[in-house]
């Protein structure tokens, strides 16, 4: 049978092979072999770890470079936006300063125009007046709003052509107003009218305050004698009228 023939050939081959004696390895040799195997394994692990660390470092370096590029781009974008914002803020400051300057110039122009208008009214009154022998006259009066509840009053007084001496008198200023449906009156200075001295002509102005929610209706300026008993001249001006 083929199985028996195979075993017979194996016995013949073993019988023909020379006998070799191999010594049994000792503990040191086995320990040395084990240490060598461990060393090789450790070396392989170390090499693998180094290769992995290097690949990871390269990948991390690439990611870091890309992140740095993005951060630099964001920094440039932010710097550009900050510069644009500063430019807009500076432009806004310049525009606000220009607007404030124009507002001041407009206010000054309006004040100059009002002064010129007063002078024109004064000159027209002098030219058209038929009563040139009067001691003193109230040529014009007006009141303008400054801010909430604060007003500026003006009065222009002039002597007659035949009056050379200085006129000493008192000026009484009163305002009729409407407040919450009720009429009221305020007299500046109360029982002590303002002293005034007139030589040819005099412009008198000042400020006054009205109660809260008061709407002025009429300004009345009276020129009194030095003792305050006699009315020499007077001027009445409705608020809002020309």
Mean pLDDT of the chain: 80
149: left (phi over 0), alpha (psi -120 to 50) or beta: left
Domain extent for 110:
71-128
Which pLDDT band, with edges at 50, 70 and 90, does 108 fall under? confident
Count of structural domains within the chain = 2
Which pLDDT band, with edges at 50, 70 and 90, does 220 fall under? very high
Residue 159 lies in a domain: yes
Which pLDDT band, with edges at 50, 70 and 90, does 219 fall under? very high
Q: Three-state secondary structure along 77-106? A: HHHHHHHHHHHHHHHHHHHHHHHHHHHHHH
- Please spell the DSSP secondary structure of 111-127, one letter per residue: HHHHHHHHHHHHHHHHH
Residue 113 lies in a domain: yes
Instruction: List the beta bridge partners of residue 170.
Output: 195, 224
79 with 155, same domain: the answer is no
User: Are 176 and 184 spatial neighbours (Cβ–Cβ below 8 Å)?
Assistant: yes
At residue 130, the pLDDT reads 47
90 with 166, same domain: the answer is no
User: Are 171 and 198 spatial neighbours (Cβ–Cβ below 8 Å)?
Assistant: no
Residue 21 lies in a domain: no
At residue 177, the pLDDT reads 92
Residue 10 lies in a domain: no
- Which ranges of the chain would DSSP assign to H, the alpha helix? 2-16, 27-128
What pLDDT, in 10s, does the model give residues 16-64?
656 565 556 667 777 787 888 888 888 888 887 888 888 877 777 777 7
105 with 199, same domain: the answer is no
213: left (phi over 0), alpha (psi -120 to 50) or beta: left
What pLDDT, in 10s, does the model give residues 62-80?
777 778 888 888 888 888 8
| Overall size of the chain counted in residues | 242
Which pLDDT band, with edges at 50, 70 and 90, does 124 fall under? low
Q: Report percent pLDDT > 70 for the chain.
A: 79
Whether the predicted pLDDT of 206 surpasses 70: yes
At residue 198, the pLDDT reads 85
148 with 106, same domain: the answer is no
Between the CA of residue 203 and those of 24, 55, 139, 220, 235, what are the distances in Å?
137, 95, 10, 16, 14
| Domain end residue (candidates: 108, 128, 148) | 128
**CATH code, domain with 223:** 2.60.40
| Domain end residue (candidates: 58, 93, 128) | 128
Instruction: Return d(Cα 149, Cα 208) in angstroms, integer.
Output: 8
Residue 103 lies in a domain: yes
**Angle 41-42-47 (CA atoms, 0-180°, nearest 5)?**
100
What pLDDT, in 10s, does the model give residues 129-175?
545 556 788 888 888 888 878 898 888 888 876 666 788 889 999 99
């Amino acid at each position: 049978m083929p199985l028996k023939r195979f075993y017979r050939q194996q016995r013949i081959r073993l019988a023909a092979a020379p006998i070799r004696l191999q010594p049994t390895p000792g503990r040191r040799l086995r320990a040395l072999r084990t240490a060598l195997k461990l060393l090789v394994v450790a070396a392989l692990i170390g090499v693998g770890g180094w290769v992995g660390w290097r690949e990871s470092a390269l990948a991390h370096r690439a990611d870091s470079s890309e992140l740095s590029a993005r951060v630099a781009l964001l920094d440039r974008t932010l710097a550009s936006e900050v510069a644009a914002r500063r430019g807009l803020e500076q432009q806004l400051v310049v525009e606000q300063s220009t607007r404030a300057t124009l507002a001041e110039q407009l206010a000054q122009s309006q004040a100059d125009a009002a002064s010129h208008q007063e002078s024109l009214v004064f000159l027209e009154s002098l030219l058209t007046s038929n009563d040139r022998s009067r001691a003193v006259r109230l040529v014009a009066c007006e009141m303008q709003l400054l801010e909430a509840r604060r007003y500026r009053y003006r009065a222009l007084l002039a002597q007659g052509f035949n009056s050379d001496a200085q006129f000493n008198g008192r000026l009484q200023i009163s305002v009729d107003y409407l407040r919450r449906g009720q009429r009221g009156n305020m007299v500046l200075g109360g029982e002590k009218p303002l002293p005034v001295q007139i030589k040819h002509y005099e412009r008198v102005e000042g400020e006054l305050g009205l109660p809260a929610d008061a709407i002025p209706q009429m300004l009345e300026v009276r020129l009194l004698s030095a003792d305050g008993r006699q009315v020499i001249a007077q001027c009445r001006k409705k608020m809002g009228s020309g």
